[in-house]
Amino acid sequence: MQLIPENAQKVNVEGATVDFYKFEKDGVTYYAFDTSRCGPPEPMVNAMAGLKLITSPNVKLIMINHKMPMGLLNKIEENYDIEKEDLPDGRVKLVFSYKPGKSEEANLNDSSCHG
């Protein structure tokens, strides 16, 4: 199952511990990463690093993880629109989008896990 397009470009994201990729589709810039083989706190650390990239409505972040990251969601769900999808192989896919007036208020410096 191809979740990150083959034409996606690998990019450097400050604070990330896994590879991030960037691609465009329908005028939207997507950043994507996969922490499905990582243990805590890596999913949280990488999500917080990636969320800093969402600075406008035409930028989204895709996270692939081994389970729903409840600690992360509890911290930031008020600040971003989040689409959640259970994948056939048991992993989850989350797409984080900019929420005007709320995304700017997110505290993305606390990447400790409490979920």
Beta strands in the chain (DSSP E): 9-11, 20-25, 28-34, 59-65, 80-86, 92-98
Q: What is the pTM of this model?
A: 0.94
112 has a pLDDT exceeding 80: no
Domain ranges for the chain: 9-105
Res. 110 pLDDT band, cuts 50 70 90: confident
64 has a pLDDT exceeding 80: yes
* pLDDT at residue 109 in the model: 86
Mean pLDDT of 26-37: 98
* pLDDT at residue 25 in the model: 95
* pLDDT at residue 49 in the model: 97
40-44-50 Cα angle (round to 5):
145
When the pLDDT of each residue in the chain is averaged and rounded to a whole number, the result is 94
113 has a pLDDT exceeding 90: no
